Amino acid sequence: MAAALINQGKIRISGHIKKPGYRVTQSDRVTGVILPPEPPLQVSSDPEPIHVVHEDPHIIVLDKPPNLVVHPGPGNQSNTLVNRLLYHFPDLKDVGEDPLRPGIVHRLDKDTSGLILVARTSQSLDFLQKEFKDHRVEKTYMALVSGATLPDNGEISLPVGRHPKHRKRMAVTPDSGKPARTSWQVCRRFARTCLVRIQLHTGRTHQIRVHFYDMGHPLLGDRVYQYRRNRKKQQSFPRQMLHSWQIAFRHPYSGEKLQFASDPPPDFASAVAKEAGYTGK
């Protein structure tokens, strides 16, 4: 858009029309038009199916497949979970103030599978967001992590924030990160990996992936938080092996404690079977 405005003479340098590649100097004076605000992004509905675990007039619990972004954003304006939700639950479009995230209480990474909670009314959204903020929602994950020497159980309490150099990544950042706490228990131990049950006590972006990477046990299949020497070895796994297995919370209307569980999808089960059969030969 900027190049088009320059070529049309609507943006000038010291009163003159310049080419878009012109480099301005300290003495140059840039004049031009005030750009109108971009129209709000319209979120279309998508008839692709969704797996509903539970629904009532106040909430929806879904089992999200891997390789699906939760809500629209730059580079993902369609084919997201929200697009599908709006087709199956059109009333969601008025829930909350963000039209790109109607009813969305929390998120899962694109390649993380499993349970996700959606609010069906604005009152439910406010209640559940506060429950998450106050750490009253119990979230349990299953993961396959690298290395067979992980202790049977433990807790990681390290702050997580934006990576100081790679701005699209997160990292353990003691000086600027937000408090993050993850606990785990080994369920099965294989020749080179472990199947781990993980309790997420806080909800920082990429928290589980960052914590286990920092501890020396990155998730299998993780292309981002993975040691360079292992990236090619991990290609046999289609994604990071992380599954949102259980969620427990208070119902926003009745106050009743609800708990749901979701079996890992076939690719996760296949990865577990592969590790169980690996002998190192």
Q: Please write the tens of the pLDDT for every residue from 31-57.
A: 776 666 666 667 889 999 999 999 999
Q: Tell me, what's the pLDDT at 231? A: 64
pLDDT for residue 106 is more than 90? yes
- pLDDT at position 189, please? 96
125 DSSP 8-state letter? H
Tell me the per-residue pLDDT of 238-247, one tens digit each, with 9 for 90 and over: 899 999 999 9
Contact yes or no for 178/160 (Cβ under 8 A): yes
Mean pLDDT of 252-277: 96
* Residue 116 to residue 137: CA distance in whole angstroms: 12
pLDDT of 28: 81
Q: What is the DSSP string of 136-193?
A: -SEEEEEEEEE-S---SEEEEE--EEE-SS-TTSEEE-TTTPBP-EEEEEEEEE-SSE
Detail the DSSP E strand segments found in the chain. Answer: 12-13, 30-31, 52-55, 59-64, 113-119, 138-146, 153-157, 160-162, 170-172, 181-189, 193-200, 242-250, 257-261
Rounded Cα distance, 44 and 61, in Å? 21
Residue 34: per-residue pLDDT: 66
Hey, what amino acid is at 27?
S
How far is Cα of residue 108 from the mean position of the Cα atoms in its chain? Answer: 4
Q: Which candidate in 46, 63, 109, 222 is catalytic?
A: 109
pTM of the prediction? 0.83
Mean per-residue pLDDT, 159-184: 93
Tokens of 85: 């939700």
What was the pLDDT predicted at 23? 82
| Cβ 95 vs Cβ 120: under 8 Å | yes
For residue range 188-236, list pLDDT tens digits in order: 999 999 999 999 999 999 999 999 999 999 999 999 998 876 666 656 7
What distance in Å separates the CA atoms of residue 61 and residue 126, rounded to the nearest whole number? 16
272: pLDDT confidence band, cut at 50, 70 and 90?
Answer: very high
* Residues whose CB is less than 8 angstroms from the CB of residue 35 and which lie 6 or more positions away in sequence, other chains included: 1
d(CA 173, CA 160): 6
Residue 281: predicted pLDDT: 57
Region of residue 202 (phi > 0: left; psi between -120 and 50: alpha; otherwise: beta): beta
Name the fold adopted by 52-277: Pseudouridine synthase (3.30.2350)
Please compute the mean of the pLDDT values over residues 263-276 and round it to a whole number. 95
Domain layout of the chain by residue ranges: 1-37, 52-277
Chain position carrying tokens 């609800």: 258
pLDDT tens digit sequence for 174-201? 988 999 999 999 999 999 999 999 999 9
Instruction: Give the mean pLDDT of 51-75.
Output: 94
28 among known catalytic residues: no
